[in-house]
Amino acid sequence: MVKLCRYLLVASLTLLTITAYAELNLNNNKNLMGEDPQRVFNERFSYENALYGIPKVREYLHNYLALMEKYNDYSIRNSGGYIGFFNIPSFLEGALRKQNYLLRKTEYELAQYKYKAGEITAADLATAKTVFETAEKDFQKFWDGFRIED
């Protein structure tokens, strides 16, 4: 019964997601520097692109701290915001990886129900499982190396 409820919840959320996406008007934004709104939505806001940006943010923050050191400006270090320079990029990366893991887990669970109902093939189920396992390993690797600075 619990599995059925979870399946119905996932199906409802999927339907809501599809409905919500259908209601988006991506063409209203005139600040995209001539880029295609669909490309921005699908590529610039992608999981992969967001992860690509995390090391860049770390690098920018590191360079900013190096400049502060060079000019003996310790205002950030003494303000309590210094720790955020190290923690915030890790928190953002953790949130991205966690959401990807949870999404892939839910997709795999849904695929299991669809397979039992005869709606997808064994190959489709195997693909969903592989994608989930990859996301699981990815998050676990991040988690095992994660640390909070203070």
Mean pLDDT of 128-149: 95
Q: Answer yes or no: is pLDDT of 5 > 50.
A: no
Mean pLDDT across the chain: 84
Predicted TM-score (pTM) of the model is 0.71
Residue 109 CA to residue 128 CA, distance in Å, equals: 9
What H or E segment, with its residue span, contains residue 83? Answer: helix 82-116
pLDDT at 108: 98
Q: pLDDT confidence of 86, banded at 50, 70, 90? A: confident
Of 115, 99, 106, 83, the closest CA to residue 45 belongs to: 99
Task: Tell me the mean pLDDT in the region 104-116.
Answer: 98
